């Protein structure tokens, strides 16, 4: 499921992150990928050991924790602390697929079910830089306002188009969901959204309760804790 998550960060939060990142020490983005990814990756990132990365990552995770749409769509179990990247001067990331298992700071492993990009630059600030996600329906270009995020299956082939003017700043990370299968997550998300709409229209409370029971019983059956 490819989904736009609007308003993860407000304008003030974006401005504070941008100010901090403008004065950051960046490193070659190829340091965090394997040999195959390094062949097609041309960007810069905050070093994994950077205290600034930890600080800004907490800001992003705190904002996501308060965002009901993100939680409904991802049902997160574990989340890799966000990284931050910068594309400029023709920087790009060619077609690739993300690693399936990643190490968390505490030594545990995370299965990368869902990838997320949180845009920190407005579309008018740079040319190019579209995130292109490929699936069975074709290729989808994503270029969102600063503060908005997109989630998509980490199993998808995807790329970042060359940035030919300005700079594209973003946070990116992966989540392991309680529900491994993307199709099942989509069904749960659509069912939850329908329940919320019915509640808002004053529908029969007993029917809404029954549907809520169906949602939770499906989640109970499919969840992997």
Residue range 153-197, pLDDT digits in tens: 999 999 999 999 999 999 999 999 999 999 999 999 999 999 999
Within this chain, do residues 61 and 145 fall inside the same structural domain, yes or no?
A: yes
Whether residue 215 is predicted with pLDDT greater than 80 in this model: the reply is: yes
Tokens of 160: 């970042």
- Sign, Cα dihedral of 74, 75, 77, 79: positive
When pLDDT is averaged across residues 203-218 and rounded to a whole number, the result is 97
Q: Please state the pTM of the whole predicted model.
A: 0.95
Q: Which domain holds residue 148?
A: 3-177
Across the beta sheet with 92-96, the strand order is: 41-42, 92-96, 157-160, 131-135, 138-142
Within this chain, do residues 37 and 147 fall inside the same structural domain, yes or no?
A: yes
Within this chain, do residues 211 and 125 fall inside the same structural domain, yes or no?
A: no
- The helix/strand/coil state of 42 is strand
pLDDT in tens, 106-158: 999 999 999 999 999 999 999 999 999 999 889 999 999 999 999 999 999 99
CATH number reported for the structural domain that contains residue 143 in this entry: 2.60.120.620
Cβ–Cβ contacts within 10 Å for residue 161, how many?
Answer: 18
% residues pLDDT > 90 (the chain): 93
* 132/143 Cα distance (integer angstroms): 9
When pLDDT is averaged across residues 71-92 and rounded to a whole number, the result is 97
- The helix/strand/coil state of 117 is strand
């Amino acid at each position: 499921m490819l989904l736009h998550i609007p308003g993860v960060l407000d304008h003030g939060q974006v401005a504070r992150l941008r100010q901090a990142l403008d004065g950051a020490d960046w490193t070659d983005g190829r340091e965090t990928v394997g040999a195959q990814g390094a062949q097609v990756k041309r960007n810069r990132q905050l070093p994994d050991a950077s205290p600034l990365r930890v600080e800004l990552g907490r800001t992003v995770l705190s904002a996501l924790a308060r965002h009901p749409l993100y939680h409904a769509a991802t049902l997160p179990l574990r989340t890799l602390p966000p990284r931050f990247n910068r594309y400029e001067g023709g920087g790009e990331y060619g077609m690739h697929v993300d690693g399936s298992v990643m190490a968390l700071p505490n030594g545990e492993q995370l299965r990368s079910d869902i990838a997320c990009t949180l845009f920190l630059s407005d579309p008018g600030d740079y040319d190019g830089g579209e995130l292109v996600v490929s699936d069975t329906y074709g290729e989808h270009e994503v270029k969102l306002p600063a503060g908005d995020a997109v989630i998509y299956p980490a199993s998808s082939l995807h790329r970042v188009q060359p940035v030919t003017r300005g700079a594209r700043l973003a946070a990116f990370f992966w989540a392991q969901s309680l529900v491994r299968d993307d199709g099942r997550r989509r069904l749960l998300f659509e069912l939850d959204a329908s329940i919320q709409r019915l509640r808002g229209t004053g529908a029969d409370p007993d029917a809404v309760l029954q549907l809520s029971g169906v949602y939770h019983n499906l989640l109970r059956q499919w969840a992997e804790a």
